[in-house]
Amino acid sequence: MHCMLTLTRKQREIQQRENRILEVSLELLLKSSYHGLSMDRIAEVLEYSKGTIYQHFSCKEEILVALANKAIQVRLDLFRRAASFRGRSRERLQGVGVASQIFLRLYPHYFTVEQIIRLSSVWEKTSPERRAFLHRCEEQCAGIVAGIVRDAVASGDLELPPDVTVEDVIFGVWALNFGACTIMTTSTMLTDFGIPDAAASLRWNHVMMLDGYGWKPLSRDFDHHEVDRRLSTEVFAPEFAQLAAYK
């Protein structure tokens, strides 16, 4: 992405207009859902001609994948920072879990967009260029987790059975986190099911999964609450300050 300082005035104006289109589109999406979002409505709110909107995006699906690309870059930054945490492999993976929860709590609107673009009716209408960018960022997110798992294997912290691959572990962690986050953002009955704190339940299940893999140190051998504390001050201090301000 170009630095705004290196762009010409015209290019800055174009970039600013595109950012404004994305902001308004996200607001309309959250207010009226996917079906309530339209190029006509976007143009009306912005007081632009519809032709101006089409100069930037060919359809509302293109706007959605552009928003998803903004979201994945935020997620990728959080994952990279988690992976840089000074700790053993299991503690770094715990950091990725914390990063995922930060993303969900600070940017729930982005998580909503990520879910919507998975629909084939949306995805198939988007451009190859934007899809490719999203794929590259997703691969980098998965690659960060894969690197942590491989480090665990190389260091002896994790010994995989002969029929289990690194990719199997990645899928298990991904499925647990993404599935839980989806339920947390769509279900209104968790408290009725006896789950007053879904994030805490997710953390517990994550701990049990890694213990099940035999990933050292086992939960009984280290203080994962202390790791959370260190992550909140050493890696994600700005984000935790934001979360504290929301309370």
Q: Are residues 97 and 211 in the same domain?
A: yes
Whether 89 and 152 share a structural domain: yes
Residues 34 and 135 in one domain: no
Give the Cα separation of 79 and 72 in Å (integer): 10
Q: Could you tell me if 103 and 50 lie in one domain?
A: no
Does one domain contain both 35 and 129? Answer: no
The pLDDT of residue 13 = 83
- Model pLDDT, residue 11: 80
DSSP 137-187: HHHHHHHHHHHHHHHHHHHTS----TT--HHHHHHHHHHHHHHHHHHHHH-
Number of separate domains in the chain: 2
Residues 52 and 68 in one domain: no
What pTM was computed for the model?
Answer: 0.90
Profile the chain (247 residues) by mean pLDDT over runs of 10 residues: 64 88 94 91 94 94 95 96 96 96 94 90 92 95 96 97 94 93 89 92 95 96 95 97 86
- The residue range of the domain holding 95 is 63-246
Helix (H) or strand (E) holding 220, with range, is none
Domain at 14, CATH number: 1.10.10.60
Give the model confidence (pLDDT) of 4-45 as tens digits.
457 788 888 888 999 999 999 999 999 988 888 999 999 999
| Cβ partners under 8 Å of residue 38, min gap 6 | 60
The answer to whether the beta carbons of residues 138 and 72 sit under 8 Å apart is: yes
Whether 173 and 52 share a structural domain: no
